[in-house]
Chains A and B, each alone.
Chain A
């Protein structure tokens, strides 16, 4: 226990840099450049799908502790390949949703799931990013994160969904989507994802995340700035994501798994998210709500690939 864990990070980007910056000073990890190194026990997979999926499968098959962002895979067949690789190699899989691993997001989940919160009555989740006219499909780019949080909170499958989406801010891809959902236990969920923020409302990283959960006895509200640091200068305001908290939580989860703890199995939620994502996409512009249950089969996939 508490020995140094050889760790490899696959992928480059803000999260990779933050993870690398925090891993060594924690005193639990030694960073290796190649995850194939036989001594490596944990792999942080920070590439985008479908490369992410193949790396996850290979690392699990090699018996590593693997942490990746949602989604682990974009289709049900690939999810089952991940399950098989984990079974075959004895690896452990952790899905590190940024919202769920942010201090405020994690505390929100804890509060909502606590008995004193009472029955969840309604949930509002919004992620807003700056306008990027060349940006990709907003549902694909932000929907997995939002769904990961929603499903963490509801702890049930979704029953039905309906989405309204459009390209509102000048690009070709849909930059805004409003999704109304109902969970299997009748919680109404409103999810809004948009690249709508002007330059004067800077939001770094994942963007502004706003959450409001109303329960029978308590409520939780996560303000947009709870996940970022605002720096105000005479020349204007800049915002930096507060990456420390999610990164440290993720690293602690990886260390615990490497020490022998068995993380919660994330694949059931990944399957639910995939079915929900497929239903949401089918519901865009539909004349009525779409039942999610029909997409809990083996052939679903999100057809949009990150641009």
Chain B
């Protein structure tokens, strides 16, 4: 079987921690031939194990005729431009979530991929996480009857020293390009709530906050409530700057007419270390929240869709629907108003 030649656009944290390990895991199916990052040293470091070419300009990757597919692992404010360019160059695309900064951008991306006849898979990694796949399967089997109430908590600690995220040192903390926790974090919650609910979002209410010193005005905390067309209610709280040492975990609870499902990372933490500074949970972030196998499945899905010439399992319209919820949460938090959605996915 011929390996799919890949380009990687964006060689920052998520590329290093998730996408490059996934590429390495699927070495029988993919070959990384070029990388790009505005930080050329990062591009070179990502390329080096593969002896791949590396560039500062992503367009140089797209210009390579041997590349069939690209992984776009850049911040969301770059996605629309890069996806449109990749589609125009005839590349299949795996693009990090959130899909875009706005719904019109998402529409342009979907149209560009459709026009070019290429696959566009948005990397909602939790759809490929075994725990959530099992939950979806349990719901499909009717294990807990009709789903009525969903609860999610996502927690991450901030760094002990030199906190970067949500400060001006990192794009997430730059008010010019970052829209806050609703996008990189709560987009997961928005997608899972909708995916599990089996309905479409009807209304969203949210509160947001800035919870760390040095934040230049980008909300890093979000609590949202979503009602769905089938009557289900979902709520989620994302707090990604808890004090150092707090465990990173994701807590999902679903209550149906005939039962309940609970999936709590907190209860799955297998190792707690007690030191003079208190308790910590070594490995919990890597193992539990950033489930690497999910990224492997995600990339494998794109490769399989290319090889089998079939649609990807999660059409980009699904990612657009999650984006609509996240954007509504952001607007609600800004205006203190309930944001009514159309109840339609696209």
Contacts and interface: CB of A to CB of B under 8 A. Distances in A.
Contact of A168 (B148, B206, B258): B148
Contacts of A64: none
Interface residues of A, number: 40
Contacts of B239: 121-122, 214
B307 interface: no
A186 B219 CA distance: 13
Interface in A155-214: 160, 162, 164, 166, 168-170, 176, 178, 180-182, 186-188, 190, 192, 194, 196-198, 200-201, 212, 214
A178 B338 contact: no
Interface string B289-304: 0000000000000000
Contacts of A288: 335-338
Interface in B49-95: none
A138 to B, nearest CB: 12
Interface stretch (A46-54, A80-88, A143-151, A216-224): A216-224
B211 A168 contact: no
A194 B255 contact: yes
B221 to A, nearest CB: 6
Main SS of chain A's interface residues? strand
A188 B221 contact: yes
B242 A219 contact: yes
B246 A219 contact: yes
Contact of A190 (B148, B235, B257, B260): B235
A221 B257 CA distance: 28
Contacts of A216: 211, 213, 243
A176 B242 contact: no
Contacts of A188: 207-209, 221, 223
Interface in B203-230: 205-209, 211, 213, 221, 223-225, 227
B260 A192 contact: no
Contacts, number: 107
A196 B255 contact: yes
Interface in B297-336: 335-336
Interface residues of B, number: 37
A188 B149 CA distance: 21
A176 B149 contact: yes
A28 B246 CA distance: 42
A84 B258 CA distance: 50
Contacts of B224: 180
Contacts of A8: none
B211 A178 contact: no
A278 to B, nearest CB: 18
A240 B330 CA distance: 41
B29 interface: no
B148 A122 contact: no
Nearest to A119: B211
Given A198-B258, A286-B338, 4 more contacts: A164-B225, A196-B255, A198-B255, A287-B338
Q: Which 9 A-B pairs have the closest CB atoms?
A: A168-B148, A196-B255, A121-B211, A289-B336, A288-B337, A188-B207, A190-B223, A178-B235, A180-B207
Interface of A: 118, 121-122, 124, 126, 160, 162, 164, 166, 168-170, 176, 178, 180-182, 186-188, 190, 192, 194, 196-198, 200-201, 212, 214-219, 221, 286-289
17 contacts: A121-B221, A162-B205, A162-B336, A162-B338, A166-B233, A180-B225, A181-B207, A186-B209, A188-B223, A194-B255, A200-B259, A219-B242, A221-B266, A287-B338, A288-B336, A289-B336, A289-B337
